[in-house]
Structure 1
């Protein structure tokens, strides 16, 4: 006797009932899968994109906003800080190195980031095609930017003021030239257009004198490096503008700070917040605060999903229990033809496991499809660090847990099938 075929035949006898059970279970599993994929991958992305950054210094405002805008490039900056003040901070003995960022423009919604080569070293970025930027108005594209925008080496483009892809406020008088494309990293850098600080300053300062000053300074100081006698980069004002000298009154958006010693974590944030016009934000602290803020909502959704799974299990139990009553005679006939009680027990258990397995697999697939749709509709590829095609180990445990739920839901009907009284059932017939 083929148990699998037999169980499948009984499932097909009540298709609407079976479909309802499968959809209920699939909905609960899909919600759990979406939350699992999103939370795990976003947490990994946050850790990956903030590695090597001990502190972010920006204009007074929300520390979380500073982190989101300067590391993850998902929010608007709180403002600009004076370059002279940033240079003064970079000379602090507790600071090993500072990496300046200058934001404000974009191309097709991709942010243009003015910085120096230390930013490439921070994320261990490699150039896949062409070279890294050297002169003002030269840019190196992130992998996703090159793929989605269609820009290639030697192409030129004009940036738009702000971060919206609306085609307004275009700096037509200043054309950027693509000189290279970075290798993909699966990080936020893939969605950035990197250039020098001088490029950002030059685009926003259209006076001929300012353009000449920046061009000459950049030419005189190309490839200048800020190393001590041992070859290590140290924190100083030269590190901020190592690819060119700034004009008087220039500003930057933020500084990515690397500590020289653990003592800096205690002293620097308080010093910056209380004795300067700048704001210090700690990436680990702010990301933990972010997760604590959204954690309540995630927990509520998870609780809702578990309730749905429990309801689905009860539905499977009720369906099997009612089905068992309707086919008591069939089971008695099977017993009279030689089927053992153990066989009938396994038959009902298998029926419940089939329904559970189909519902779980459908839920996992639906969860991945929801993640894929969300990343395509609401974010650029890789911007959130979420990949719908990635399979997590925890999904295997979801599958195992679902089968256990199906087993428990099938247990009582299976026991009743095991205890089927042949003579009594046939006599009632």
Structure 2
């Protein structure tokens, strides 16, 4: 009989012990897998979505909220800023490129973003079908929007007021899908893009829809530009000198605030990091308990089986064969636990992702990371370390002494 078969039979002669050890290892590995996958996805999303944006300018309030709402679209904006003041900033010599944003509506929880062609340049967008939006109430939609909402070129849909929910629907002006973006792997996959005047008209008509005829609204757009507002502006600096001067100028001389995506993302990540570290130590502790449990299990089982092992030796089994049998038991236990834990981690994260409301921050368990090999190696190491002392004992056992005792 091969050493592996013997190890397998030994393990399952006490299924409760083996099951408990596998469960402990699986639980620790699953927590570490979830943390590894989630933190790498969050940091990748933070980097991908903010990589070419130096600054966000918006209404005064929480800088983190401003960044979350204008770059990641996962929070409410801090308010609106007057168009007149925004234009002055956008034409500043410190600014290389400015992207205006007008938020406020959604379609089934997906953000409708009023913006201009600079948004296309900033995110290097391409369409897989159709064209970029041009006229009023034309919409170019992200790849995921088309997929989840089953929208195609030529379809129309109605936006609803607010950033989620569909109670207050704008029924008087449907948007028409004129283009579908190629998958970008960033936040734009989940956005509906249109021009700013569509967003303005939608809300202008909300106020005076009953009193005015539609024809009057054709000239309505530029009648009172003074009253128009934007939600925020995404800015790229012209030179490194802008970093020192421009944000301070905005914060001190205007009613607006400037927030740095890089700084706010770092702050956000350090806040998340505290929780991640705590959970990581918790998982490592479980793995440590699992290692001790495997060790105790093998040590006790070896004491009970010393007579059987001695008989095996007299029947011609070498010391090395006994050593291999015990080591194999430890490795089998931890390998089974590690593989179950990895699968469990992926499944749990996919489940968590399916319950997340925001498409922008959705986590997926359907991702394989090269770093997971380290978790696999850690499981293997636990098996070897936990079984090395019992294996050495089996190797060194004195046959004549054991047989004479019995």
**Normalising by structure 2, what TM-score?**
0.95
2:134, 2:224 → 1: CA distance? 16
Kindly provide the CA deviation profile for residues 156-181 of structure 1, in whole angstroms up to 9, marking residues without a partner as x: 1111111222x311111111111111
How many residues matched? 402
Of 196-205 and 245-254, the range deviating more from structure 2: 245-254
- 2:41 pairs with 1:41: yes
Find the residue that maps to 1:185 and give its secondary structure.
coil
Would the aligned equivalents of 2:83 and 2:225 in 1 still touch at CA under 8 Å? no
2:281, 2:364 → 1: CA distance? 24
Compute the displacement of 1:213 (Å).
Answer: 7.5
Find the residue that maps to 2:321 and give its secondary structure.
helix
Can you give the 5+ residue segments of structure 2 that lack an aligned partner in the other structure?
Answer: none
Kindly provide the CA deviation profile for residues 298-353 of structure 1, in whole angstroms up to 9, marking residues without a partner as x: 11100101000000000000100111011111100110011111111111011100
- 2:391 pairs with 1:391: no
Would the aligned equivalents of 1:33 and 1:364 in 2 still touch at CA under 8 Å? yes
Kindly provide the CA deviation profile for residues 249-279 of structure 1, in whole angstroms up to 9, marking residues without a partner as x: 1101000000000111111111111110101
Would the aligned equivalents of 1:187 and 1:385 in 2 still touch at CA under 8 Å? no
Compute the displacement of 1:124 (Å).
Answer: 1.4
Find the residue that maps to 2:239 and give its secondary structure.
coil
Find the residue that maps to 1:174 and give its secondary structure.
coil
- Residue pairs, 1:158-237, within 5 angstroms: 158-165=158-165, 167-206=166-205, 207=208, 215=218
Compute the displacement of 1:212 (Å).
Answer: 5.7
User: Cα–Cα, structure 1 residues 196 and 214, in superposed 2: closer, same or farther, change >3 Å?
Assistant: farther
Find the residue that maps to 2:92 and give its secondary structure.
coil
Equivalent residue for 1:20?
20
User: Cα–Cα, structure 1 residues 194 and 140, in superposed 2: closer, same or farther, change >3 Å?
Assistant: same
Would the aligned equivalents of 1:138 and 1:176 in 2 still touch at CA under 8 Å? yes
Can you give the 5+ residue segments of structure 1 that lack an aligned partner in the other structure?
Answer: 219-243
2:102, 2:213 → 1: CA distance? 17
Equivalent residue for 1:233?
none
Q: 1:374 aligns with which of 313, 327, 352?
A: 352
Kindly provide the CA deviation profile for residues 199-230 of structure 1, in whole angstroms up to 9, marking residues without a partner as x: 10010001477976874699xxxxxxxxxxxx
Would the aligned equivalents of 2:112 and 2:193 in 1 still touch at CA under 8 Å? yes
Would the aligned equivalents of 2:298 and 2:330 in 1 still touch at CA under 8 Å? yes
Equivalent residue for 1:323?
301
Find the residue that maps to 1:171 and give its secondary structure.
coil
Kindly provide the CA deviation profile for residues 126-182 of structure 1, in whole angstroms up to 9, marking residues without a partner as x: 1111111111011011111111111221111111111222x3111111111111111
- 2:404 pairs with 1:427: yes
Equivalent residue for 1:2?
2
Would the aligned equivalents of 2:352 and 2:363 in 1 still touch at CA under 8 Å? no
User: Cα–Cα, structure 1 residues 298 and 214, in superposed 2: closer, same or farther, change >3 Å?
Assistant: farther
**Normalising by structure 1, what TM-score?**
0.90
- 2:304 pairs with 1:305: no
Q: 1:251 aligns with which of 225, 229, 238?
A: 229
Would the aligned equivalents of 1:214 and 1:245 in 2 still touch at CA under 8 Å? no
- 2:346 pairs with 1:347: no
Would the aligned equivalents of 1:58 and 1:278 in 2 still touch at CA under 8 Å? yes
Compute the displacement of 1:384 (Å).
Answer: 1.9
1:129, 1:19 → 2: CA distance? 53
Equivalent residue for 1:144?
144
Equivalent residue for 1:411?
388
Compute the displacement of 1:186 (Å).
Answer: 2.1
Equivalent residue for 2:342?
364
1:51, 1:171 → 2: CA distance? 34
Find the residue that maps to 1:248 and give its secondary structure.
helix
Would the aligned equivalents of 2:330 and 2:383 in 1 still touch at CA under 8 Å? yes
Equivalent residue for 1:239?
none
Compute the displacement of 1:389 (Å).
Answer: 1.7
1:187, 1:5 → 2: CA distance? 50
Compute the displacement of 1:379 (Å).
Answer: 3.8
- 2:155 pairs with 1:155: yes
2:109, 2:253 → 1: CA distance? 36
Would the aligned equivalents of 2:110 and 2:192 in 1 still touch at CA under 8 Å? yes
Compute the displacement of 1:386 (Å).
Answer: 3.3
Would the aligned equivalents of 2:356 and 2:362 in 1 still touch at CA under 8 Å? no
Find the residue that maps to 2:79 and give its secondary structure.
coil
